[in-house]
Amino acid sequence: MKKIEAIIRKTKFEEVREALLDAGIEFFSFWDVRGAGQTREGRMYRGVVYDTSIIERTLLSIIVRDKNVEKTVLAIMKAARTGEIGDGKIFISSIDESYRIRTGEFGDESLYIKGKEE
Amino acid sequence: MKKIEAIIRKTKFEEVREALLDAGIEFFSFWDVRGAGQTREGRMYRGVVYDTSIIERTLLSIIVRDKNVEKTVLAIMKAARTGEIGDGKIFISSIDESYRIRTGEFGDESLYIKGKEE
Amino acid sequence: MKKIEAIIRKTKFEEVREALLDAGIEFFSFWDVRGAGQTREGRMYRGVVYDTSIIERTLLSIIVRDKNVEKTVLAIMKAARTGEIGDGKIFISSIDESYRIRTGEFGDESLYIKGKEE
Amino acid sequence: MEDALTLDTLAKSAADMAMSIDTIWVLVTAALVFFMQAGFAFVEAGFTRAKNTVNILYKNLMDFAVGSIVFWAIGFSLMFGANTAGGFMGSPSLFNFDIWKGGIPEEAFLIFQTVFAATAATIVSGAMAERTEFKTYLVYSLIISLLIYPISGHWTWGGGWLASMETPFHDFAGSTVVHMVGGLIALTGAIALGPRIGKYSGKRANAIPGHNIPYGALGVFILWLGWFGFNPGSQLAASGSANATAISHIFVTTNLAGAAGAISALLISWIRFGKPSLSFALNGVLAGLVAITAGCDLVSDLGAIIIGTIAGVVLVYAVTFIDNVLHIDDPVGAVSVHGVCGALGTILVGFFAQGSGLFYGGGTAQLVSQLIGVGSTAIWALATGFVLFKVLKATIGLRVPKRIEEEGLDIYEHGESAYN
Amino acid sequence: MEDALTLDTLAKSAADMAMSIDTIWVLVTAALVFFMQAGFAFVEAGFTRAKNTVNILYKNLMDFAVGSIVFWAIGFSLMFGANTAGGFMGSPSLFNFDIWKGGIPEEAFLIFQTVFAATAATIVSGAMAERTEFKTYLVYSLIISLLIYPISGHWTWGGGWLASMETPFHDFAGSTVVHMVGGLIALTGAIALGPRIGKYSGKRANAIPGHNIPYGALGVFILWLGWFGFNPGSQLAASGSANATAISHIFVTTNLAGAAGAISALLISWIRFGKPSLSFALNGVLAGLVAITAGCDLVSDLGAIIIGTIAGVVLVYAVTFIDNVLHIDDPVGAVSVHGVCGALGTILVGFFAQGSGLFYGGGTAQLVSQLIGVGSTAIWALATGFVLFKVLKATIGLRVPKRIEEEGLDIYEHGESAYN
Amino acid sequence: MEDALTLDTLAKSAADMAMSIDTIWVLVTAALVFFMQAGFAFVEAGFTRAKNTVNILYKNLMDFAVGSIVFWAIGFSLMFGANTAGGFMGSPSLFNFDIWKGGIPEEAFLIFQTVFAATAATIVSGAMAERTEFKTYLVYSLIISLLIYPISGHWTWGGGWLASMETPFHDFAGSTVVHMVGGLIALTGAIALGPRIGKYSGKRANAIPGHNIPYGALGVFILWLGWFGFNPGSQLAASGSANATAISHIFVTTNLAGAAGAISALLISWIRFGKPSLSFALNGVLAGLVAITAGCDLVSDLGAIIIGTIAGVVLVYAVTFIDNVLHIDDPVGAVSVHGVCGALGTILVGFFAQGSGLFYGGGTAQLVSQLIGVGSTAIWALATGFVLFKVLKATIGLRVPKRIEEEGLDIYEHGESAYN
Ligand SMILES: Nc1ncnc2c1ncn2[C@@H]1O[C@H](COP(=O)(O)OP(=O)(O)O)[C@@H](O)[C@H]1O
Ligand SMILES: Nc1ncnc2c1ncn2[C@@H]1O[C@H](COP(=O)(O)OP(=O)(O)O)[C@@H](O)[C@H]1O
Ligand SMILES: Nc1ncnc2c1ncn2[C@@H]1O[C@H](COP(=O)(O)OP(=O)(O)O)[C@@H](O)[C@H]1O
């Protein structure tokens, strides 16, 4: 099992979600983050400019079975790209164990719905 | 050291927190996330339904010593379960190192208070 | 590649950000979390005290190349410390892979700007 | 004024001017009282959780809309129609306003009374917040504006039996008629519903903090503003030096009582809980304003300050008593603010009324009348509220299912969330 | 009053008093109408996304500021100057207000008309929200207050051709003159701009929920309050029993129509979509208020309720039709609320006006005049709006670049974010 | 009117009507001015950080509550009592209002003056936001309403020495008496406190953006509304054609100056900083309104526009000068808006007053009087403010501990957080 964390533009969320659904990835969590990176947006407050590299981004956290890593990454890559600085990053790490709270299922089983997918 | 990430119903937070305290887990961080999963709540805005699987959840991030993983998972499992779709997931991964900023302690030591627990 | 997660006081964010910049770390994401820990702040609502250990913190998530882990940790440690209970924690874990969405670069390359740093 | 000038035409035009002045006064103050709907909506939205915000705003909007129509259609006649059933109510008639005669056009009087009726209705939503079925609330609010409020209102303001006592019951602008009625029906509603999930763990009351205190503060500022319509407007006249002096005095007593309520609630909460609590001070303002409403015309400035101060203190104890001891879950403190302080303020008229009050050598006659008025109206409100909610519970249901309450009424009942 | 007392001096002072009463009335109601600016600002801010909140608030602030100055400078004379071009407009003159004669000081009339002009202007910002260049909006708002609104306003209120018809066009407080004009210019603006990115995927309309529904509710409460200035204030007088009775009646019809609009929009949205929607009920209030504005003086109370009810129903269908079928992106429903319901309410005067209305045996004369008034004003608004936005698009540009729209106008256009 | 009709009874009743009209006017405008408290609260809450929101709202609430009581008790007499100490102050007496004689009931005058006093007091909280001890603030606000404001107020409005100069100092509605006094005490407070932690790094000023700009906008709209009470209400009369004309004119000049202030602040901030800043435009409105307050009765419409424009420009430069050069930390710009533009507007009366102003051929007499009035009042405000905060600092302490300031005053001082 892998955890895929994607930091994307807030405005790209809907597209990424649809791309993930198309790729068969239906489960994930996400939240708003702010990112420091190459993009700079000048803000100003009452005449004082505050240089800020602080941009609103959405972080998606998706735990998938190993076999699904590639298609997930590809789906995100395609949907989230604008080609301009600030498109974001995808990070992959290992998950040791996973449980579904409702049923107590664990391991890969906890990551898909039996019957829905082989 | 392991990181336990639990995605639970927002409404179950208080119960989970108490269950964790009972289990001796006093340190954790949490934040609001939204989750895409099996539950669907129909929302509507000015006559346009927007199918959304987007549900408010709380993500708990708990770093514990290896020996505490099991009881933590069990505590969450029990307190967060309603049996209805949407109860959430628990994911476990490995942490390489941990530091307490205040003292500079690291490793397991940084995860408990000396004197309070043996 | 390592992921460095630092949970710090909200009020220390600016200082930490500057310390990271000074250390050459320009990329990271962050968001607000709440933390349960040793500090307790009594809140009261209409005469009912609610004991809460729930404190606002900022979580920084920084993915860096292995060679940068140490200086990152040191920078945070120094900038975020007040010496009082509640200064927070730093956790380090491994990242298997990283992609830059804009260019498709992956691995270490995705973590720095070619030309800017050797 | 195109007629030949005579003393009579001039007198007629002077009378006309007086009527215009009174009408302007009543309409402007009616507009201010209308705005109190926004005040209530924001107090209640602020002091409850974000997941029920659409619901609470919706209830506040609709009780005014529904109330406006039914009070216009029938309620008004029940309140101001000719005595029937021995002064128990006015004779009902359909959208009929010339049953009332006064110095202003009947529709000016109607709109002023409409916004008052709506105030009584809207008080209840706060105590029943975060767990009441939306459709049940609509029915409730229809019935209070149609029947419950107009009937007891008739007793005092419609020439009914309380107004016909030897020493008439004195409730100038509605501490009892409006606020206590609303507050006590709120009490029966809160009891009928039971507490929100998670509010009490055994004997322990848990805090469920409001999600947006600035909304609460905005609401209180708006309500305070509205009270400058509520009380001075109840004079229903501004023409002539007696009226002008009266409304000026009412303005001052109203303001002083609100200010005193804030200060005393601040101090008491500071002393009792170690920290000055804004939510108590905000409620303290309302407590002072509710309490002065009955006697704002009769008490002295100093009397107003004392009444406001007492109300602020009582408020803090009432809230914690109802919550911690009675374990009745009233999310915004409506029962304490409107029910308790409404009754309190009305009774205090018996002590502080200049002339008839006990402290001014007026003997106990006024006090007794006040107690009769408060007592009988309280019984009416409690009894009808009790029956109403009992019936609603048994028929269309009162409370939303557990799951909906937990996840929030906004999404499940309305399909909308307040913040996106 | 220091002169010797005679019948004449007394009559003079009575006339003076009448003028004072009227002036107070107009100024107080003007203040209420001014406050509608805050109402519009919050409705629009609440029903759009957080990333454009500074921008939408800014537009609402500036259209009032700019409008105040240009209407004062020239607009007023175009609207109320002596007929020129055959009743098509008033003779222009620079800050000249004694061209108007009436029972109140000319500056009282000026300020009342200024806040009305600003209302027409501000309606447009909602329909064009979240994608319009700021500087273009400033130019637009200058031109509507300077030219478009005053000229068609002259037709009806300035003694122009619509007012001079045999059966004069009746638009008491501006369902057509103010709201429909604003709503239809909004329509041309929304069309000229095209929909927001992501609003339509092929034939499917996507929901883009407003970021803060409480702001929307606050806005509607403020607007409702403001309407108690808008309609009763348009009587421009309160002295004498006829005026006092009239403003009281207008108060009541205004309130009943708003209430009825809320109820019918609630019920229709409940039936159509399975859940009662707050955003529709809020718009329903406005629909009812807009619709009653033309005939609030002439229709009966019951007529007001019927008009409000119809408006609430029509509103729900208009919003979904414009969105789902026409695919015109109007983020806050300004076209439906102000354009559609403004026209509707004006036409319904032809049916419901007591005396001249079809349902009251008045024949079709009034109805025909209403249709002429609505039709001609609609053509004017659509045509000028169309040309205006065409020209602006071709010159300084109408729409912000894609990137800015996606990331939000607040940061890119203003360098400020609404929430920090 | 039940007496036999004679010319005298009619004249008497006409005088009574005039008094009623004036009373209504003063009370309604007092209610509007009261509402400015909400405006200030939301401007200040919006322009500061979320962690101090409860605290700032609390301060705004309590300074009104405390001020209402102490101004009623003693402040009023210090301001309007018979000259004592050579016109330096009124003779103090306890809740005594018949020391004042005028055309309206004394309590109408009292409440109008009370809300004015509270305005002066509340201005200060903004400049001292986010770091001041709550209890110290309570003491400060008691003293300003009890002593500082009434005494300098007496000079100008209580018949004191500034009013008795040959060419009396002209400050119609309080640019100096209310706003500059508040703004300069705010200055001494901000200096005594020192900047917020993190506001300045060496020579560099850092931005600490307000947490909720919509609150700021709401506040400004409410304040603008309130100003329609503040200025026209200061006429204290509406009866008779002279008064009616005067209040209409004041309405117009007030509005034009606010509008002009918004536009010029918008343009200047656009030119200076490359982007049009909403926070400056909002402050620009207030700058224009503050500046016109002194001369709103005397200047022409065009004069009002010019004064508003100048104020908007000066505001932008004052804010950045105080912040970047003087390094005085005034989170909401209270010193610039009220202090600087208050003084500015008062002095400009010497130029723009129709009749007595320099630009109207009135010579320099008025200008000199204005300078004397502004100068002496400024010295008073600065000196008393300086001493007051010095004493408070040395005794009960002025500033919260570092830790509390960092983590937020809401939780540590009040145990409540604004958002949950
Ligand atoms: N090493 C990192 N650790 C955590 N977040 C990162 C890292 N690098 C980038 N991000 C996130 O991705 C966002 C976009 O990165 P940025 O460098 O601006 O664009 P690009 O990847 O297109 O060069 C940043 O705002 C930040 O939130
Ligand atoms: N693979 C996943 N990765 C990240 N988050 C997940 C994943 N699966 C589930 N979640 C989170 O858990 C929540 C509940 O999951 P859901 O599938 O609705 O219920 P259940 O686990 O009871 O079948 C989701 O809303 C989502 O936030
Ligand atoms: N084991 C943990 N897992 C997740 N978060 C933690 C953990 N321990 C501490 N934290 C976070 O760090 C914050 C500070 O920790 P705390 O124990 O209060 O202070 P200190 O580390 O100085 O003793 C907590 O509020 C919490 O957010």
Q: How confident is the model at residue B42 (pLDDT cuts 50, 70, 90)?
A: low
Helix (H) or strand (E) holding E271: helix E241-273
User: For residue E212, which residues of chain F lie inside 8 Å, CB to CB?
Assistant: 214
3-class DSSP state of D400: coil
State residue A56's pLDDT score: 79
Would you say D176 and D377 are in contact if contact means Cβ atoms under 8 Å apart? Answer: yes
Please answer yes or no on whether D58 and E17 come within 8 Å at the CB atom: no
Is the CB of C35 within 6 Å of ligand 3?
yes
State residue F1's pLDDT score: 42
- pLDDT, tens digit, 9 for 90 and up, residues E226-277: 999 999 999 999 999 999 999 999 999 999 999 999 999 999 999 999 999 9
Tokens of D294: 């009955």
- Select from F331, F316, F312 the least CA-distant residue to F206: F331
Side-chain-side CA neighbours of residue F211 (13 Å):
15
**Nearest residue by C-alpha to atom 12 in ligand 3:** C88
Dihedral of the alpha carbons of E300, E301, E307, E313, in degrees to the nearest 10: -160
Tokens of F262: 């918004």
CA of C88 to the centre of ligand 3 (A): 5
Residue in E with minimal Cα distance to F238: E20
State residue A118's pLDDT score: 46
When pLDDT is averaged across residues B82-101 and rounded to a whole number, the result is 92
Question: What are the C-alpha distances in Å from A1 to residues A19, A93, B6, F339?
Answer: 21, 9, 16, 64
Phi then psi dihedrals of residue E110, to 5 deg = -60, -50
User: For residue D15, which residues of chain F lie inside 8 Å, CB to CB?
Assistant: 1
Is the CB of C77 within 6 Å of ligand 3?
no
d(CA F271, CA F290): 24
Which bound ligand lies closest to the C-alpha atom of C104? 1
Would you say F264 and F279 are in contact if contact means Cβ atoms under 8 Å apart? Answer: no
The pLDDT of residue D10 is above 90: no
The shortest C-alpha distance from C117 to chain B (Å) reads: 27
**Antiparallel, parallel or unpaired: β C48-64 and F200-201:** unpaired
Please answer yes or no on whether F13 and D14 come within 8 Å at the CB atom: yes
Q: What is the ipTM, given to two decimal places? A: 0.94
State residue E231's pLDDT score: 98
d(CA D196, CA D186): 15
When pLDDT is averaged across residues D194-210 and rounded to a whole number, the result is 92
The pLDDT of residue A54 is above 80: no
D103 and chain F in contact, CB less than 8 A = no
Tokens of F357: 């102003």
Would you say B68 and C60 are in contact if contact means Cβ atoms under 8 Å apart? Answer: no
Please answer yes or no on whether A47 and F209 come within 8 Å at the CB atom: no
3-class DSSP state of F84: strand
Would you say E101 and E109 are in contact if contact means Cβ atoms under 8 Å apart? Answer: no
Q: Which of residues 22-61 of A touch B (CB under 8 A)?
A: 26-31, 61
Bridge partner residues of C94 (DSSP): C2
User: For residue E17, which residues of chain F lie inside 8 Å, CB to CB?
Assistant: 14, 17-18, 21, 239-240
Is the CB of A84 within 6 Å of ligand 1?
no
State residue F104's pLDDT score: 97
d(CA C30, CA C56): 13
The pLDDT of residue D252 is above 90: yes
- pLDDT, tens digit, 9 for 90 and up, residues D282-338: 999 999 999 999 999 999 999 999 999 999 999 999 999 999 999 999 999 999 999
When pLDDT is averaged across residues A91-108 and rounded to a whole number, the result is 93
Would you say E294 and E345 are in contact if contact means Cβ atoms under 8 Å apart? Answer: yes
Is the CB of B61 within 6 Å of ligand 3?
yes
Q: Angle, to 10 degrees, between the axis of helix D241-273 and the axis of helix F7-46? A: 30
Tokens of D303: 């009397």
Tokens of D400: 């939303």
Bridge partner residues of B32 (DSSP): B58
As a whole-number percent, the residues of chain D with pLDDT over 70 amount to 99
The pLDDT of residue D411 is above 90: no
Q: Count CB-CB contacts under 10 A for residue E35.
A: 23
> How wide is the angle at C-alpha B46 spanned by C-alphas B40 and B51, nearest 5°?
20
| Chains D and E touch each other (3 or more Cβ pairs < 8 A) | yes
d(CA A114, CA E78): 74
Please answer yes or no on whether F272 and A43 come within 8 Å at the CB atom: no
Q: Chains that contact A by 3+ CB pairs under 8 Å?
A: B, C, E, F
Residue in A with minimal Cα distance to E49: A11
CA of B20 to the centre of ligand 2 (A): 21
CA gyration radius for chain B? 17
Would you say E115 and E344 are in contact if contact means Cβ atoms under 8 Å apart? Answer: no
- What is the end-to-end Cα distance of chain F in Å, rounded? 60
Would you say D262 and F69 are in contact if contact means Cβ atoms under 8 Å apart? Answer: no
When pLDDT is averaged across residues E178-204 and rounded to a whole number, the result is 96
Mean pLDDT per block of 10 residues along chain F (420 residues) reads 73 90 98 98 97 97 98 97 92 92 96 97 96 97 97 97 97 98 98 95 90 98 98 97 97 98 97 94 98 98 98 97 96 97 98 96 96 98 98 97 90 90
Query: Of E57, E94, E114, E215, which to mutate for an interface test with F (greatest number of F Cβ within 10 Å)?
Result: E57
State residue C49's pLDDT score: 66
Bridge partner residues of C91 (DSSP): B98, C5
Q: Which of residues 132-191 of F touch D (CB under 8 A)?
A: 134
D207 and chain E in contact, CB less than 8 A = no
Would you say F1 and D17 are in contact if contact means Cβ atoms under 8 Å apart? Answer: no
d(CA E369, CA F113): 52
Q: Which of residues 242-281 of D touch F (CB under 8 A)?
A: 243-245, 247-249, 251-252, 255-256, 258-260, 262-263, 266, 273-279, 281
The per-residue pLDDT of chain D, averaged, comes to: 96
The pLDDT of residue E401 is above 60: yes
Contacts of F343 (CB under 8 A, 6+ apart): F175, F176, F180, F374, F378
Helix (H) or strand (E) holding E63: helix E53-70
d(CA B12, CA B31): 13
D24 and chain F in contact, CB less than 8 A = yes
Is the CB of C1 within 6 Å of ligand 1?
no
Q: Which of A93, A95, A101 sits opposite B77 (nearest CB)?
A: A101
**Nearest residue by C-alpha to atom 19 in ligand 2:** B86
Contacts of C116 (CB under 8 A, 6+ apart): none
Helix (H) or strand (E) holding A52: strand A48-64
- Select from F218, F232, F26, F32 the least CA-distant residue to F119: F32
The pLDDT of residue B118 is above 70: no
Would you say E231 and E307 are in contact if contact means Cβ atoms under 8 Å apart? Answer: no
Q: Which of E198, E403, E415 sits opposite A43 (nearest CB)?
A: E415
Write the DSSP string, C9-72.
Answer: EGGGHHHHHHHHHHTT---EEEEEEEEEEEEEEEEEETTEEEEEEEEEEEEEEEEE-GGGHHHH
3-class DSSP state of D1: coil
Most ligand 3 atoms within 8 A of CB, residue of B29, B63, B66 to mutate: B29
Contacts of E394 (CB under 8 A, 6+ apart): none
**Antiparallel, parallel or unpaired: β B48-64 and B28-45:** antiparallel
Sort E201 into a burial class: Cβ within 10 Å, 0-12 / 13-18 / 19+: exposed
Residue in A with minimal Cα distance to C17: A36
Q: How confident is the model at residue A41 (pLDDT cuts 50, 70, 90)?
A: low
The pLDDT of residue B109 is above 70: yes
Please enumerate, as own/partner, the contacts of D192-195 that have beta carbons within 8 Å and a separation of 24 or more.
D192/D386, D192/D389, D192/D390, D192/D393, D192/D398, D193/D128, D193/D131, D193/D132, D193/D329, D193/D389, D193/D398, D193/D399, D194/D329, D194/D399, D195/D327, D195/D328, D195/D329
Contacts of F7 (CB under 8 A, 6+ apart): D7, E5, E6, E7, E10
- Select from B66, B112, B58 the least CA-distant residue to B92: B66
d(CA F273, CA C51): 47
Most ligand 2 atoms within 8 A of CB, residue of B10, B31, B53, B89 to mutate: B89
The shortest C-alpha distance from D26 to chain C (Å) reads: 36
- Select from D309, D8, D295 the least CA-distant residue to D175: D295
The shortest C-alpha distance from E173 to chain B (Å) reads: 28
Domains of chain C: 2-111 (3.30.70.120)
This prediction's pTM: 0.95
Residue in F with minimal Cα distance to C50: F415
Which bound ligand lies closest to the C-alpha atom of B39? 2
> Which among C83-92, D142-151, E12-21, F197-206 has the top mean pLDDT?
D142-151
Question: Would you say the C-alpha torsion F250, F252, F253, F254 has a positive or negative sign?
Answer: positive
- pLDDT, tens digit, 9 for 90 and up, residues E193-225: 999 998 998 888 989 999 999 999 999 999 999
Would you say C107 and A82 are in contact if contact means Cβ atoms under 8 Å apart? Answer: no
Q: Which of C53, C73, C89 sits opposite B110 (nearest CB)?
A: C89
Q: Count CB-CB contacts under 10 A for residue E66.
A: 26
Bridge partner residues of F204 (DSSP): F201
Contacts of E159 (CB under 8 A, 6+ apart): E80, E83, E87
CB pairs under 8 A between B and D: 18
Query: Of A9, A10, A11, which to mutate for an interface test with E (greatest number of E Cβ within 10 Å)?
Result: A11
Residue in A with minimal Cα distance to E415: A43
Tokens of E401: 């670049």
State residue C51's pLDDT score: 56
| Chains D and A touch each other (3 or more Cβ pairs < 8 A) | no
CA of C80 to the centre of ligand 3 (A): 13
Contacts of A90 (CB under 8 A, 6+ apart): A4, A5, A6, A7, A73, A76, A77, C98, C99, C101
| Chains F and B touch each other (3 or more Cβ pairs < 8 A) | no
Residue that is written with structure tokens 């001070």 in the block? D281
The shortest C-alpha distance from A104 to chain C (Å) reads: 26
Q: Count CB-CB contacts under 10 A for residue E397.
A: 13
The pLDDT of residue E2 is above 60: no
Residue in D with minimal Cα distance to B49: D415
| Chains F and E touch each other (3 or more Cβ pairs < 8 A) | yes
- pLDDT, tens digit, 9 for 90 and up, residues D56-74: 999 999 999 999 999 999 9
State residue D1's pLDDT score: 42
**Nearest residue by C-alpha to atom 26 in ligand 3:** C35
State residue A68's pLDDT score: 94
d(CA A57, CA A30): 10
d(CA F307, CA F300): 10
CA gyration radius for chain A? 17
**Nearest residue by C-alpha to atom 19 in ligand 1:** A86
Question: Would you say the C-alpha torsion B34, B40, B41, B45 has a positive or negative sign?
Answer: positive
The pLDDT of residue A49 is above 80: no
The set of protein residues with a Cβ atom below 6 angstroms from ligand 2 is A 27-29, 61-63, 100, 102, 111; B 7, 35-39, 55, 57, 85-89
